[in-house]
Amino acid sequence: MLVLGLETSCDETAAALVERGRRVVSNAVASQHELHAEYGGVVPEIASRAHVERLMPVVRASMSEGGVTLSDVGAVAVGHRPGLIGSLLVGVAAAKALAWSLGVPLVGIDHVHAHLYAACLDTDREIEHPALGLVVSGGHTTLYRVDGPTRLTRLGATIDDAVGEAFDKAATILGLPYPGGPELDRLASDPAADPTRFDLPISRLGRDSLDFSFSGLKTAVLYSVCGVPRPKREGGGFPRSVGDLAEEDRRDLAAAFQLAAVRTLTLKLGRALERGGYRSVVAGGGVTANSLLRAELARLAAERRLPLHLPPMAYCTDNAAMIAGLAFPMLEAGETADLTLTPVPTTAC
């Protein structure tokens, strides 16, 4: 069965076709980065208006890329939670109209569940359950016990910034263009970079905690770049700015930040794995595109002799293939929606 998936939860307008939950037939994504760059972050009203303009052209692009027509579509799936409410509304309204007019089932998908399902796309490998699952994106940093594609139990989550948000903020402090995560990855991957020159903090929280924290790391990058703020009586403000930094300092700071952020993640994965019982490790979300995180996850899984499931690079950041893919096991389980489906800003887990 061919499922059409729609994704409009944040700043990517996406449509994709996936056959029987596995084979990606087409994957069309219209990024809005150019609209939000001047604000240094996503502006919700601009995002929802751009979804209205771009969604149907993106759906048409997914059809022509796949060489099919709407009459070949067996079901319509839409990311309906979590996300920006105005953005979600656009995708949900379009999905309902398409499903109703085509006379096919409608499936409402949790975006966070879909990020973990992305590791099942374009592969025949099955995830061994229970798996230890990690979702790392611009909005989420959460560790799960995974017993099935939609059976997730939260073990821990960030208590402040999401790791992708920390990457983006650190990149801004280092003077890199928006969105900064991939730019910081590139700068840190310079073979000459020395990640040990700057000692940045790895948050551990309590001895048994599986939660994460990234705000201290972000502040440490700010102070390393700009110095410690002067007291008010001395005029306040920072003694330096990013322009005063030598190119090799920026590069080494980027590498030190990336190392500390990735170690913060793998430390908690290691803690969770020590408790035992997991048969595999699965990860998803935009930050799984990070080169060091991919390498460190591979090392961690190999040390524990566990299979690792990571999404192909094209399905790490927001896309609709993960939405269309996850719809298939949900359809098989009879988990369809009707025209009362509503967008919800929060995740189900």
Structure tokens at 11: 């700043």
* 181 is a contact residue toward ligand KG4 (CB under 6 A): yes
Give least dist CB 115 to Zn ion, A.
6
Q: Which stretch binds Zn ion (CB under 5 A): 47-55, 136-144, 298-306, 327-335?
A: 136-144
**Which of positions 276-335 make contact with ligand KG4 (CB under 6 A)?**
285-287, 289-290, 317-318
Give least dist CB 257 to ligand KG4, A.
10
- CA–CA separation, 344 and 165 (whole Å): 21
Q: Which stretch binds ligand KG4 (CB under 6 A): 151-159, 176-184, 297-305, 332-340?
A: 176-184
Give the list of residues 6+ apart from residue 253 with CB closer than 8 angstroms, or none: 174, 198, 221, 224, 225, 245
- Of 133, 138, 149, 325, the one binding ligand KG4 (CB under 6 A) is 138
Please check whether residue 183 is in contact with residue 173, taking contact to mean a CB–CB distance below 8 angstroms: no
27 forms bridges with which residues in the sheet?
16
**Which of positions 279-318 make contact with Zn ion (CB under 5 A)?**
318
In the complex with ligand KG4, the residue whose CB is nearer, 131 or 287, is 287
Alpha-carbon torsion, ordered 256, 196, 202, 313, to 10 deg: 40
* 168 is a contact residue toward ligand KG4 (CB under 6 A): yes
290 binds, among Zn ion, ligand KG4, none (CB under 5 to 8 A by kind): ligand KG4
List the Cα angle 181/187/188 in 5-degree steps.
Answer: 85
- Of 133, 149, 164, 325, the one binding ligand KG4 (CB under 6 A) is 164
Please check whether residue 84 is in contact with residue 46, taking contact to mean a CB–CB distance below 8 angstroms: no
Residue 43 to residues 39, 88, 237, 294, 306, Cα–Cα distance (Å): 8, 14, 28, 30, 41
161 binds, among Zn ion, ligand KG4, none (CB under 5 to 8 A by kind): none
- Of 5, 182, 195, 343, the one binding ligand KG4 (CB under 6 A) is 182
* 137 is a contact residue toward Zn ion (CB under 5 A): yes
Give least dist CB 285 to Zn ion, A.
6
Q: Please give the size of the binding site for ligand KG4, defined by CB under 6 A.
A: 19
**Alpha helix (H) ranges present in 118-193?**
163-173, 180-188
- CA–CA separation, 95 and 16 (whole Å): 12
Q: Is the dihedral of CA 13, 157, 262, 216 positive or negative?
A: positive
In the complex with ligand KG4, the residue whose CB is nearer, 5 or 105, is 5
Task: Report the interface residues with ligand KG4, using CB under 6 A.
Answer: 10, 137-139, 164-165, 167-168, 179, 181-182, 185, 285-287, 289-290, 317-318
Task: Report the interface residues with Zn ion, using CB under 5 A.
Answer: 137, 318
